[in-house]
Structure 1
Amino acid sequence: MSHAVFHENITTCEECDFINEIPPLKSGERFRCQHCGHVLVSAHKHVGARIMGVSLSSLLMLALAMSFPFLGFSSNGIGRSVTLFNTLSVLLSQGYLVLGALISLALFVFPLIYLLSVLFLIWSFNHPNTLNFAQRYCLRWITVIQPWLMVDVFLVGVLVALVKMNSLADISFELSFWAFCGYVLLLLKTVTLVDKRWFWNQVAGKSPEHSVIAATAKKQGLIGCLFCGATLSGDAKHCDRCGHSVYSRRPKSIGSTVALLIASLVMYVPANVFPIMQTTFLGSTEPSTIMGGVLLLWSLGSYPVALIILLASVVIPLAKVLALSWLCWQSYFPGRKQTAQKIKLYRITELVGRWSMIDVFVVAILTSLVQMGNFMSILPGPAVLSFTSVIVLTMLAAMTFDPRLLWDKDEARSSAPLKRGKE
């Protein structure tokens, strides 16, 4: 007979501020917010052993992916093979330090910190004498880093780059490519198994108990911690369980979001006007903008890839700016749309934002792969950093936006007395 693997009295939803009473959860069960439907806790079966096995396997695949050639390139009898390290070394040798740093963070630094932190936490659960502050720091790193893991986006970028070069050269998948595919799948599986509330429950025990009703924390004079889900008294400044700063609503949320959106719009213009890539063939250099690359792929008959680049690099960044701008407006002047629909829009903007990095990864891959002097070479264009800034700024804008403000307006509107018509 299965027993409960997660014990928690109450938790506050980070999206709607609703306080939920959590029943003891058994393996394989999932608990959603009773107000907005957001998944709060996932109690996976044999979660500790599964995370340990998948994380170690992911690290092994990463080691293999970095040990052998990644891709092969040949044109007119001239060929070369590159490793994952070449993606960084070529960018750094050409003076693209910022782009190289971003690639290294997305592919190596952040995933390594994430996996090692997860492994340390699982190991520490079986060793009670482990320093508790080390557990807390690792758990904080996991929460912060997770949205910036982009290995799956890089893999799609590799496939797009190969389609772009298919008409000019022969591309071959080397041994490390298949190891990298395994690394991506295993890392994504690790992310799905990691549940922040379950981890904090293991590290710091249950959250403080309160006598609550089925309503928002703010309405009851309480505060929900966004980091661990604990429910605290209204005058708390820091969470008693995880130590993170707490606030009833994110300070200056709308102002920060709007400022980031304006900055992203400013950078969106040069990102689409200036060339994102410069191709040299037989001594002649030809610049290519984002839309130029889309049109080229379309003319070559690569319709699916052209649509992917169009959506990821042109439509999604602009749509995300418009969506977040509309949500900020709705936080002050709510329309007739139900708040649940607005929250779905907010979740979509968070989900798709990082996929705009596909074009940046495509440029990085082609730069490392195609370096044959005046015969053929590819270098990043001036629009690369502008476009990367657009992606980072829109992701930060989504993070600074507080969706609980939408529910506040909805609650205020529903509790307002109805105006009597003329008799």
Structure 2
Amino acid sequence: MSRGFGMSHYVFHENITTCEECDFVNSIPPLQSGERFRCQHCGHVLVSIHKHVAARIMGAGLSALLMLALAMSFPFLGFSTNGIERSVTLFNTLSVLLSHGYLVLGAIISLALFVFPLVYLFSVLFLVWSFQHKEVLNFAQRYCIRWLVVVQPWLMVDVFLVGILVALVKMSSLADISLKLSFWAFCGYVILLLKTITLVDKRWFWNQVAGKAADHPMIDTTAKQQGLIGCHFCGATQLGNAKHCDRCGHSINSRRPKSIMTTVALLIASLVMYIPANVFPIMQTTFLGSTEPSTIMGGVLLLWSLGSYPVALIILFASVVIPLAKVLALSWLCWQSYFPSHRQTEQKIKLYRITELVGRWSMIDVFVVAILTSLVQMGNFMSILPGPAVLSFTAVIVLTMLAAMTFDPRLLWDKDDAPSASSLARREE
């Protein structure tokens, strides 16, 4: 394809890489800024190189940190009813939960909002800075890339932002809610963090830190069929008897050990926790000394009765439909890895990708409870506290996310009767 600039300026040049979704060994042509390379077999994006990527990551990452600092420094939301006013900061979301003894829920909120995003941002900024300072210890760079890969699925600031909007709709009929200065800074922080994530490519980072991966003779087939192993962490291709990746040092296996067994166990555990999550109240509201518990479905029905149909549907799908659908989808994929149907493997992989994508959005209801708890604390006149179902529901979300991570999609391709590898490399500007 026409690249639009000098033919000799390559920012990524690696001979082969192995797809983590289908195990197909791909021959990679030299890539320039602005190009993307997809797996020849399944279409999964393997390498994405953005123009001026280092400068853009540094700019977006530093700006995200600045927006977070501003979001933590000023009032976040205002709450007023019957002449009583209350203003909270972003940190109150955590401190109120801890002061009422909800230590586990407070830890989850702090990890999702502060710890994981800060680890991610500092790691990526350190890596970009270290590319210009060769004296930096290489092992520090390697650990930072590992942190990026591990932490990224658990970044949920965008889910928290949607949770704020849902909470505001829930309280709009009971009180006047005002958006303070920090709320808009938090919106900027979310946008900039998401932009940083889109600019990060783990294969490009490993290429910068550890150089090109070792080359191997290849044919158009999977690594397993060639007696090779693809590293799930950096994409390098190793000999079949290797136990650790020569480039990143991570332990490698041709297929994840006990993948189906682990996935099924996590799904069973999530189903067990799904029952108390929907039976017990997720939130307890006190008004004029009278406490009224509310289950997940009770909250959906209340929003529907108030005419907030879009928000009611969001909560219904995020808190009820998605967790159950994810369990059913992963269970079906586990079955397909042993007893494949006549459906094309590409369709099964699309289902797996959707399952991975939507799982974390079920955290909306947990964040709504946390926000309302920090905002509505007016003694016996009006207060909101988490119910016993919060931790059960959080466990459902975490367990289903872990189940999706432990499932090895390459097992689906192993059962493919006639894998097609004749398509051309898909590279996009």
Q: TM-score, normalised by structure 2?
A: 0.96
Structural mapping, 1:18-417, within 5 Å:
18-411=24-417
Aligned to 2:426: none
Looking at structure 2, the residues matched to 181 and 30 of structure 1 have their Cα atoms a distance apart, in angstroms, of 29
Contact 2:413–2:419 (CA<8 Å) still a contact in 1? no
Distance 2:262 2:77 in 1: 42
Q: Deviations over 1:157-209 (max 9, x none)?
A: 00000000000000000000000000000000000000000000000000111
Q: Distance in 2 between matches of 1:311 and 1:144?
A: 27
Structure 2 letter corresponding to 1:220: Q
The separation in 2 between residues aligned to 1:235 and 1:75, in whole angstroms, is 68
Measure, in 2, the Cα distance between the counterparts of 1:411 and 1:36: 15
Single out whichever of 212-221 and 2-11 deviates more from structure 2.
Answer: 2-11
Instruction: Kindly provide the amino acid, as one letter, of the partner of residue 159 in structure 1.
Output: L
Q: Kindly provide the amino acid, as one letter, of the partner of residue 299 in structure 1.
A: S
Unpaired stretches in structure 2, ≥5 consecutive residues: 421-429
Deviation at 1:85, TM superposition (A): 0.7
Describe the SS at the equivalent of 1:315: helix
The CA distance in 2 between the partners of 1:165 and 1:209, in whole Å, is: 60
**1:412 CA displacement:** 7.2
Secondary structure in structure 1 of the residue aligned to 2:41:
coil
Identity across the alignment (%): 86
TM superposition shift of 1:27: 1.1
Q: By how many angstroms is 1:385 displaced?
A: 0.1
Q: Residue 213 of structure 1: SS of its match in structure 2?
A: coil
Q: Secondary structure at the match of 1:26?
A: coil
Counterpart-to-counterpart distance in 1, 2:177 and 2:237: 55
Taking the aligned partners of 2:58 and 2:117, their CA distance within structure 1 comes to: 15
**1:336: how far off?**
0.8
Distance 2:347 2:134 in 1: 45
Distance 1:400 1:97 in 2: 28
Aligned residue in 1 for 2:425? none
Q: Which has the higher contact order (CA 8 A, sep 6+)?
A: 2
Q: CA RMSD for the aligned pairs?
A: 0.8
Distance 2:25 2:417 in 1: 15
What amino acid maps onto 1:147 in structure 2?
A: P
- What secondary structure, in the 3-state scheme, does the structure 2 residue paired with 1:5 have? coil
What code does the residue aligned with 1:204 have?
A
Separation (CA, whole Å) in 2 of partners of 1:9 and 1:79: 63
- Alpha-carbon separation, structure 2, partners of 1:155 and 1:149: 12
Amino acid at match of 1:31: F
How many residues align? The count is: 414
Deviation at 1:26, TM superposition (A): 1.1
- Residue 411 (structure 1) shift: 4.0
How much has 1:5 moved relative to structure 2?
A: 1.1
Match of 2:427 in 1: none
Q: 1:68-123 CA deviation, whole Å, 9 max, x = no partner?
A: 00000000000110001100000001000000000000000000000000000000
Which amino acid letter does the alignment assign opposite residue 274 of structure 1? Answer: F
Amino acid at match of 1:252: K
Structure 1: state its 5+ residue gaps: 415-423
Which amino acid in structure 1 is aligned with residue 130 of structure 2?
S
Check if 1:11 corresponds to 2:17. yes
- Does the CA-based 8 Å contact 2:282-2:387 persist in structure 1? yes
CA distance in 2, matches of 1:87, 1:204: 41
Tell me the CA shift for residue 413 of structure 1: 9.0
What does the per-residue CA deviation read over 1:286-322, in whole Å, with 9 as the maximum and x for residues that have no partner? Answer: 0000000000000000000000000000000000000
Instruction: Provide Cα deviations, 1:43-84, integer angstroms capped at 9, x if missing partner.
Output: 100000000000000000000000000000000000110001
Q: What CA distance in whole angstroms lies between the structure 2 residues aligned with 1:411 and 1:38? A: 20
TM-superposed deviation, 1:217:
0.1
Paired AA for residue 309 in structure 1: I
**Residues 71 and 186 in structure 2, CA contact (< 8 A), matched pair in contact too:** yes
Instruction: Give the whole-Å Cα distance in 2 for the aligned partners of 1:301 and 1:128.
Output: 60
Q: Distance in 1 between matches of 2:17 and 2:96?
A: 48
